[in-house]
Amino acid sequence: MTVGSLFTGIGGIDLAAEWAGMKIIWQCEIDPFCQKVLRKHWPEVKLYDDIRKINKSNTVCPDVIVGGFPCQPYSIAGKRRGKEDDRDLWPEMFRVVKELRPTWVVGENVAGFINLGLDRTISDLESEGYETQTFIIPACAVNAPHRRDRTFIVAHSGRQLRKRGVQRGTDEMEVRKGNAYKSQRSSEVCRYFITNSKRKRLQRSQWIQKSIQFTHDTEKIGRQWESEPDVGRVANGVPNRVDRLRALGNAVVPQQIYPIMKAISLIEEQLAGELNV
């Protein structure tokens, strides 16, 4: 599976995607320090410096689009102006999704996003034929030394669109026709992500609980948490300490989102097997 990464930061989500067997084909990050980190670790991957430059005429359509769209409008550390904040870039991410039409979309934001932006995001995605599920996963659930609750929105487009001839790159009218209904397959996929579809309360799914047992063990997919000062998470005296602090503050713990990326990979493998039967 291929992945296009928006608001990439230092690549926490991208790293988790690679652990899940996916391939990063492009990234988008505006911060100069984060760009240096990305170029070091993904030197062969195309790097855009502005999401506004991404469109279907110059960008390869991936299977999955991931993005931790800016959290300042929703963070308790800010003024929490939500969509009224000029840093609210969900509309740009949604534009890219509409133009490229990936099979999967994974969005990430702070816990406060639930009260200020979640309804709009879900409504936007569902208006384009995606079925969505939302999860809150704390970093401490994957043995990180801090809580750091994060909201993850997982959206799937459904296979019926392609079965009826609506492919990526078709004209807008065809896409709208294809999105006029919700596919049975998409519903089945989303049910895979929840423990009980009748409950409206956000909850972890069974696959997350199973993943914790064997997939995101830090001994298997990454180094153990290294010693750092209790405050700051970056050792004193290292170069670019302020930049590193800011980058870490905005980053996603890879182990935190890995179960989601792995589940997507497993679902696609299962669906591919069914198609080959």
DSSP E strands in 123-170: the ranges are 131-138, 149-156
105 with 155: CB under 8 angstroms?
yes
> Please, what is the Cα angle at 153 between 148 and 154, to 5 degrees?
130
13 with 254: CB under 8 angstroms?
yes
Report the SS3 class of residue 57.
Answer: coil
Residues paired with 134 in a beta bridge = 153
Alpha-carbon span 193 to 205, nearest angstrom: 6
List Cβ neighbours of 88 (8 Å cut-off, separation of 6 or more).
Answer: 70, 73, 82, 117
Q: Which of 28, 34, 61, 71 is catalytic?
A: 71
| CB-count burial class (<10 Å; 0-12, 13-18, 19+) for 237 | exposed
Our answer to whether residue 34 is catalytic in this structure is: no
User: Alpha-carbon torsion 34, 35, 39, 44, what sign?
Assistant: positive
Alpha-carbon span 126 to 275, nearest angstrom: 25
Q: Scan for tokens 């996003």, then name that residue.
A: 113
Alpha-carbon span 277 to 263, nearest angstrom: 21
Give the Cβ contact number of residue 84 at 10 Å: 10
List Cβ neighbours of 240 (8 Å cut-off, separation of 6 or more).
Answer: 33
Q: Just list the catalytic residues.
A: 71
